[in-house]
Amino acid sequence: MKAAVREYRPSDWDSVRELILNAENFGDAFLEHERVKLGVYSENPEYGRVFVAEDADSRAVVGFTAVRIDWSALVISTIIAHHAHLRQGIGSALVEELVRFGKSLSNVETIWVDTGDFMLYAQEFYKYLGFDEVARVPHYMSSDFHQVFLILRIRANE
């Protein structure tokens, strides 16, 4: 699939809601938190941004990412590709947009993300995109698992 990435609009919520409900390791428990976060970022773009990926042919929303702007770092808060279109480059297109966005902000040097140690597919995904694992924090999110922190330096050679 050819994915085109653009900024989120409030009218995208119904599509994004379906992505959250159907994604592995997300679902109904995350819905209200994500809804509030997307509203805060939409209304306060200096604190965070939301991007959606569209199928370039049908214009259907097939993925989204929310990123917090933390002074010199972007922190990926959520990234989801449509459950029926995994491994088709949607997640990569979203992260590529975050790299472009980060480079457009003069003080941003890194993109951070963290994920549960049991989510091996997510770690593979981030490492494929050039992220390095830098820490494992015990019981950061839950007493059941550790959290893996990964970093991508977007100005390493400048």
Residue bearing tokens 């003069």: 106
The answer to the question of residue 89 lying near ligand COA (CB under 6 A) is yes
Nearer to ligand COA, 32 or 46 (CB): 32
Nearer to ligand COA, 107 or 127 (CB): 127
| Residue in 135, 104, 130, 99 with CA at minimum distance from that of residue 117 | 135
CB closest to ligand COA, residue no: 91
Figure out which of the listed residues 66, 67, 81, 108 binds ligand COA, where binding follows CB under 6 A.
81
Contacts of 126 (CB under 8 A, 6+ apart): 113, 115, 150, 152
Nearer to ligand COA, 27 or 107 (CB): 27
CA gap 15, 123 in Å, rounded? 26
Residue bearing tokens 């975050």: 98
Nearest approach, Cβ of residue 108 and ligand COA (Å): 20
Q: Both tokens of residue 18?
A: 């379906």
User: Where does this chain bind ligand COA (CB under 6 A)?
Assistant: 23-26, 79-81, 86-92, 115, 119, 121-122, 124-125, 128
